[in-house]
Structure 1
Amino acid sequence: MRRLLLCTLIGAIGAAPATGNEGKPPFNAIPDFISGDIQQTWYDGQTDDLLTAGLGADGLASATPPAFDDALNPPPAELRRLAIYNNYRALVDTAPGGGYGTFFGPTVGVDGNGLIAGEEFLALMTVAGHTVPVTAMVQVPDSFDPRRPCMVTAPSSGSRGVYGAIGTAGEWGLKKGCAVVYTDKGTGTGAHNLVTNSTQRIDGTLTTTDDESVLFRASLDDAARADFNSQWPDRFAYKHAHSGVNPEADWGTHVLQSIEFGFYVLNEKYGRELGNGERLMTIKPRNTLVIASSVSNGGGASVRAAEQDDRGLIDGVAVSEPNINPQVDDSFTIRQGNGPVISGHSRSLLDYTTALAVYQGCANQAPAIRDVAPFNSVFNPPAIGENICDSLASKGLVSGITTEERATDALRILNEDFGIQLEQNLLAPVHFGLSVAQGISMTYANAYGQAGVEDRVCSLSLAATDGTGAVVPLAPSQEAALFSASNGIPPSAGVNVVNDNALGQPTHLAMSASASTGQQDYGLDALLCLRSLVQGEDVATGNPLEGADSVLADAIDQGIEAIRASGDLQGKPAVFVTGRADAILPINHTSRPYLALNQRVEGDSSGLRYYEILNAHHLDVLNGLPGVAERYVPLHHYYFQALDLVYEHLTEGRSLPPSQVVRTVPRGDITTALSETNVPDIQDQPPESDLIVFADNQLNIPD
């Protein structure tokens, strides 16, 4: 293993030029995919810093966000500070007692208050074949040691901007003294106001100038934009949904490019200067430890990068809850304990997410979860749930006479027909109430189909709405903060999904009534349209799609195939940690089948280990809420363990523990602080009853 003796050998080779050029020029040069200028800023670690933007651990934990001095014209530094605050808190539970400051957080394992001095480099890059810009960023802490160089990838989670992994891979890497390389993966805010022509520069400030470099601008000329605005005023185009490309197909490439950008930056800082303005590339893949990492979509992007890495850039992989869509392989099955054998695994994100968007609103009223799921009645008014059940029944999509019977059938469809774990049922209602599946369905249908904002797929658009659900202009102060506040998928930061075909007038999707039912049923017509595009047929009638709908469905199908993962990690040591109760990325379609596919593809050469964490789910930030805190532990803690395990494996030769179920113990009371008893370590030698085993073409997961 070429990294086995890294700690002892790297000092001898790190400062010396390589004897070969490894297929690269011997002199440091800006990669040709970098577009425009590179912004470079040093942070002193006292008034401002790389990890917390000067807020420190206490500031990140504060419920009061940092304010702008001028709400309509915030400068880049203030936008960055709020972006780091929001992105950190979106993924990490900072509430007292949940592990922040004890098991994770800026001050854990280091001296001081968590502020990290260093330099930050920000640039736009492009991918061959299209011109939509992708943001890349490199953070180099002052503690970086060029004699023992290390690098961690941090592609953003979800559809977040370039700071989207600051609290996950960013925190771990910076505290370890590694350079951290980020990318927004072609997603990020990128919000284009089609009325004012306003959009964001790389630093988050707004501009209306057409010839200026920006994160995203819809591909409409002035005449087309004016025509669109006359019909659909006050709408926004969003980068992930409306760029006209399928960014996910290039997520692996984005991560690999961010690593190349990282090597350029490191050699500009530490490469051997020749005195003529040129520098030798002395920090190279062969003497630098590189771990591909991040969570959720970012984790999936790093996995794809490892699969595509044909230059030896990546040494190991450590990801949490990766959004990975494995190639469908019918030759294996999945079984948990003595439960049913699952053969219908590996459904695509858009497949199971549109199913959740259609059925979960009704399933929320099933007796099994109605009164026990946290915040169900708050986020999902029973009257709306009843309407959704009635509408589904009228279309023959659920059976039963009463709402309870129909809701129970909807829940059965999700659990049995779509392979969604029973453990996920309690958290699915809060996600539906937050419009997670609905927003993802709209965004990814557009992205996979490479649609533009003008296509208004399934008559859905994006805009601010008022208390009645009607479309209104977004407040200027909200638009000024979009770079810092938006997660890249509406509803977010004041921009909502709008049902343009709602009864009466275009209406906020969650408040809309469907034309076919006459009921306020969360715009079920639009959600069924999205589901039909995945199915390739009208889900209510079974009839084939025709015309433009058929063409779009084919494009979406091709877009999904373009993002499928091969399962071939090329023998790289890798660790996945995933919560069994993940209600956003169901494990029977992500981590579990990827592990089995990897075993089929790599067999005994596989270096992948999978740790399934009981009583853990996708969004740790919810753990700060009553009803959730009592039941769940932070998956984030195990993500950091995954990084530690891979790092120690690569630097010290420590064996990776076998794949296993980790049996955590919920706190039971939100006032009880999380302790080591609640979050036992991943075991080097777990009992046989906890081992996850692939044998006889079946992945066996202990209960």
Structure 2
Amino acid sequence: MTNRLSRWMLLVAPLLASCTATTTTKEPGMHAPDFVRGEVRVTEHRGDDDLLSAGLGLSGLAGTPASFAQPQKPTAAELRRRAIQTSWKGIADLGPLGGYGKVYGAVPNVPGREYQAFAWIPGAQSPHRVLLQIPDDFDRARRCLVVTASSGSRGVYGAIALAGAWGLPHGCAVAYTDKGTGAGYFDAADDTGVTLDGGRAKRGSAPLEFEPAGNVHHGNIAVKHAHSGDNPEADWGRHVLQAARFGLAMLDRAFPEQAPFTTDNTRIIATGLSNGGGAVLQAAGLDDDHLLAGVVALEPNVHVPGQGRALYDYVTEASIWLPCALADTRFEAAPMARTAQGEVPPAWAQRCHQLHEHGLVGGTRVSVQAAEAYQHLHAGGWTDEAMATAASTTAFDLWRAVAAAYASAYMRRGADDMPCGFRYAAMGAKGAPGIADAAVRARWWSDASGIPPGNGVGLYGGADHSLDPNLVGARCLRALWEDTDPSTQPLRDSVEATAVKAPRPSLPLWVVHGASDGLLPTAFTSEPYVDWVRSKGAHPLYWKVPYAQHFDAFLAVPEFGDKHVPLLPYGYAALDRLWSHLYEGAPWPAVVPTPESQPRGSGAITAAKLDLPAAWTVGPK
């Protein structure tokens, strides 16, 4: 370490609370992979700023948002801490009834180092982030690298509650990628984007996570997933494989005396959840070099050619039909399907009336219209269980947000020409478009989910002044899928480009999915994938977990959590079993019994209600 760096560390140590940060681009005999452009940022995390929770621990992760000393100009350490906290709270149920840290899971203090860089897929206009966490107690005798991709459109720490929480305590290094998504929002109002350390800088003054190809209208905000022009979903598998290669290269850099780290001496385990689960399945199908030793995918967004249904297909259908279908009496007891007074939400009843006005349902009463909307969805493969749970997604207006962003990504549109008149802008007074407050803008990278609205960014347009203003946008987005006009063909071509390829038959692969998933229903995703892979000669394991749904974080919502169980513990259990197979010589099972899980109920979750196979759990080394 240089004298200059030592002096710098002494100056900032009191502020960063044992977190020291250095930046390197070259080390003797060690080179970053060719797909990395620019610096590799190396940071050390010890004491009260560790790898797994940034020093917050379980109680801190579950608590109030980590603060910034200067809200308009947070430090890199503050942004990282808050990004880790946000990623945990967005995925795991950390509530008092959820059982995290008591019934399953743990958040130990894990000191170590991080290596982070911008990586590029050939031909891409924007980079994806790659990040490697190496614990100080990395097991050099049983070399293990876990590779993962963020769920949803989250930033690079988006899978830490799954991959980090399991891998780091096992002595594994963990490689992450944001897979071309993330909250590196570009604000045209001040011409700034996000730098490698999470801070903001002007276009041209530093490498940015995302900057639009051209100028953006002053009032609009550009989002990487929607506006990069890359259709990143088609490359999620390549992002994962690059992250794995980045991980091996950085292990060489961290332990030069034991280099090279290769698949001959280091086992690579891929795991991910939701979009991250789809990403690792994509990677498995592209893994011609046999990088991956095993895969565990939770509730994957996976598109099988000619089977199941593509995400855009059922999301745009749900955005139109579910509000009315959920007014049916069979969903009276579904959480979030009724007002506090036990009534059908007025907006949902109005949707039924509007569907009737457009000739899509018959009858003059909401009950009849709702029954027809229900039958329409049922005929398309929606189960009652999926629809009931999807009341939460509908109540939070997630269908519209997802459909607008993905339409723009698939059609490779920019911030100023999103399909169907949508656009993103900072939320001003009374929710109207405005200019972002500097403190709000500074928090985007750490707080935002990667798909607005939220965190001071609104989704505007795609609406009219009718009694059901969002229906016009929903129908427009649906038409992009159903039309045969040549102008809409790029969307369908982009969706087909996301189709997964079959993995090699010998690859240990386990798919874990909640039977009650209302966002990515098993009938459209995991089940056709598992059947298809089996038809190709592979032997994937499949857990369809009763009473588990898509959002563990939603389980803290009263009444909603009562009817479900978390999915994360089953992912941990599957990873434990894979570990036993790879490192302890345990046979890979031919089949696995479906857990006989039970709803949590009004009290705290118990091990008995999870019904986990205790004999498989090996726990941290």
**Do Structure 1 and Structure 2 share a fold, with TM-score over 0.5?**
yes
Describe the SS at the equivalent of 1:432: helix
Whole-Å separation in 2 of the counterparts to 1:433 and 1:360: 10
Tell me which residue corresponds to 2:245: 260
**Partners in 2 of 1:486 and 1:569 — Cα distance?**
36
Q: State the number of aligned residues.
A: 587
**Would you say 1:215 and 2:209 are equivalent positions?**
yes
Aligned-partner Cα distance in 2 for 1:425–1:502: 25
**How many angstroms apart in 2 are the aligned matches of 1:252 and 1:492?**
28
Answer yes or no: is 1:594 the counterpart of 2:529. Answer: yes
- CA separation in 1, counterparts of 2:55 and 2:320? 43
Question: What is the CA-CA distance between 1:387 and the residue it aligns to?
Answer: 1.9
Deviations 1:36-86 (A, max 9, x none): 000001111x22000101101111122x11111111111111111111101
Compared CA separation, residues 633 and 211, structure 1 to 2 (3 A): same
Partner residue, 1:302 = 280
Distance 1:441 1:348 in 2: 12
Instruction: Tell me which residue corresponds to 1:653.
Output: 585
Q: Give, in angstroms, the shift of residue 192 of structure 1.
A: 1.0
Letter in 2 for 1:678: K
**How many Å apart are 1:468 and its aligned residue?**
4.9
Q: What secondary structure does 1:352 align onto?
A: helix
Measured after TM superposition, the shift of residue 400 of structure 1 is: 2.3
Q: In the aligned structure 2, how far is the partner of 1:371 from the partner of 1:494?
A: 33
Letter in 1 for 2:106: P
Task: Provide the rounded CA distance (Å) in 1 between the counterparts of 2:33 and 2:343.
Answer: 50
Superposed displacement of residue 146, structure 1: 2.1
Find out whether 1:387 has 2:350 as its counterpart.
yes
The one of 407, 418, 422 aligned to 1:456: 418
Separation in 1 of the partners of 2:231 and 2:492?
Answer: 12
Deviation at 1:290, TM superposition (A): 0.9
Contact 2:142–2:583 (Cα < 8 Å) also in 1: no
Q: How does 1:41-440 map to 2 (within 5 A)?
A: 41-44=43-46, 46-62=47-63, 64-107=64-107, 114-221=108-215, 225=216, 228-229=217-218, 234-272=219-257, 281-329=259-307, 346-374=308-336, 376-377=338-339, 382-417=345-380, 419-440=381-402
Query: What is residue 478 of structure 2 aligned with on the other side?
Result: 531
Does 1:667 find its partner at 2:614? no
Q: Distance in 2 between matches of 1:655 and 1:436?
A: 42
Q: Contact conserved, 1:154 with 1:170, CA < 8 A, in 2?
A: no
Residue 351 of structure 1 and its aligned partner are, at CA, apart by: 0.2
Contact 1:485 1:493 in 2 (8 A): yes
Q: Does 1:38 align with 2:51?
A: no
CA distance in structure 2 between the partners assigned to 1:304 and 1:431 by the alignment: 26
Alignment of 1:6-45 (within 5 A): 28-44=30-46
**CA–CA distance in structure 2, aligned partners of residues 652 and 408 of structure 1:** 54
State the alpha-carbon separation in 2 of the partners of residues 454 and 398 from structure 1: 35
| Alignment match, 1:562 | 497
Distance in 1 between residues matched to 2:425 and 2:337, nearest whole Å: 26
Task: Rate the CA distance shift 1:355–1:595 in 2: closer, same or farther, 3 A.
Answer: same
User: AA paired with 2:245?
Assistant: E
Q: Which amino acid aligns with 1:638?
A: Y
Change (3 A) 1:139 1:397: same
Question: Which is worse superposed, 433-442 or 120-129?
Answer: 433-442
Q: Which whole-Å deviations, capped at 9, do the CAs of 1:491-548 have from their partners, x for residues lacking one?
A: 121212112x544xxxxxxxxx3xxxx22x1411111111010112xxxxxxx54xxx
Distance 1:589 1:502 in 2: 29
Deviations 1:95-119 (A, max 9, x none): 1121211233434xxxxxx111000
Summarize deviations over 1:324-343 as a string: whole Å, max 9, x none.
111115xxxxxxxxxxxxxx
Query: Secondary structure in 1 aligned to 2:330?
Result: coil
Change (3 A) 1:684 1:349: farther
- Work out the CA distance in 1 between the residues paired with 2:532 and 2:418: 36
Cα deviations by residue, 1:436-484 (Å, 9 ceiling, x for unpaired): 2111111111111111122221100112335754222222221110001
Deviation at 1:376, TM superposition (A): 3.9
Query: What is the CA–CA distance in structure 2 between the aligned matches of 1:302 and 1:642, rounded to whole Å?
Result: 15
Q: Which deviates more, 135-144 or 194-203?
A: 194-203
Structure-1 residue corresponding to 2:26 = none
> Displaced runs of 4+ in structure 1, greater than 6 A?
378-381
Residue 35 of structure 1: how far off its partner (Å)? 0.8
Residue 492 to residue 201, structure 1, CA distance change in 2 (3 Å): same
C-alpha root-mean-square deviation of aligned residues, in Å?
A: 2.0
Specify every segment of 5 or more residues in structure 2 that has no aligned partner in the other structure, as ranges.
1-28, 617-621
Q: Partner of 1:481 in structure 2?
A: 443
Hey, what's the Cα distance between the residues in 1 that align with 2:469 and 2:271?
Answer: 37
Bigger mean CA offset, 131-140 vs 193-202: 193-202
Q: Is the 8 A contact 1:384 1:522 kept in 2?
A: no
Conserved 8 A contact 1:393-1:399: yes
Q: Give the conservation status (yes or no) of the 8 Å contact 2:65–2:82.
A: yes
Q: Is the alpha carbon distance of 1:394 and 1:684 closer, same or farther for their aligned partners in structure 2, counting shifts above 3 Å? A: farther
Deviations 1:249-269 (A, max 9, x none): 111111111111111111112
Which amino acid in structure 2 is aligned with residue 642 of structure 1?
A
User: C-alpha distance in 2, partners of 1:308/1:496?
Assistant: 37
Match of 2:571 in 1: 639
Cα 1:372–1:129 change in 2 (3 A) is closer
**Secondary structure of 2:171's aligned partner:** coil
TM-superposition CA deviations, 1:635-676 (whole Å, max 9, x none): 11101011111111122232334144322111321xx22112
Are residues 1:490 and 2:475 paired?
A: no
Q: What CA distance in whole angstroms lies between the structure 2 residues aligned with 1:206 and 1:350? A: 32
Gaps of 5+ in 1: 1-26, 108-113, 273-279, 330-345, 504-512, 537-543, 686-703
Deviation at 1:162, TM superposition (A): 0.3
Change (3 A) 1:575 1:683: farther
In the alignment, the residues of structure 2 paired with residue 255 and residue 525 of structure 1 have an alpha-carbon distance, to the nearest angstrom, of: 37
Q: CA deviation at 1:128?
A: 0.5
Shift of residue 304, structure 1, vs aligned partner: 0.9
* CA shift digits 1:531-571 (9 cap, x unpaired): 010112xxxxxxx54xxxx42x2001110111101233442
CA distance in 1, matches of 2:503, 2:525: 15
Contact 2:337-2:344 at 8 Å conserved across structures: no
Say if 1:656 and 1:684, in contact at 8 Å, map to a contact too: no
Task: Find the counterpart in structure 2 of residue 336 from structure 1.
Answer: none
- Looking at structure 2, the residues matched to 78 and 159 of structure 1 have their Cα atoms a distance apart, in angstroms, of 22
The structure-2 alpha-carbon separation of the partners of 1:370 and 1:210, relative to structure 1 and needing over 3 Å to count, comes to farther
Give the CA deviation at 1:398.
2.2
* SS across alignment from 1:120: strand
Q: Is the 8 A contact 1:99 1:674 kept in 2?
A: yes
Paired AA for residue 634 in structure 1: P
Q: SS of the counterpart of 2:238?
A: helix
For 1:636 and 1:319, locate their aligned partners in 2 and report how far apart those are by CA, in whole Å. Answer: 11
Percent identity of the aligned residues? 34
Separation (CA, whole Å) in 1 of partners of 2:185 and 2:430: 24
Q: Which residue of 2 aligns with 1:699?
A: none
**8 A contact 1:296–1:320 mirrored in 2:** yes
For the structure 1 residues 199 and 142, does the alpha-carbon distance in structure 2 shift closer, same or farther, using more than 3 Å as the test?
Answer: same
Partner SS state of residue 253, structure 2: helix
Please say if residues 562 and 601 of structure 2, whose CA atoms lie closer than 8 Å, have aligned partners that are also in contact.
yes
What CA distance in whole angstroms lies between the structure 1 residues aligned with 2:277 and 2:345? 36
Post-superposition shift, 1:29? 3.1
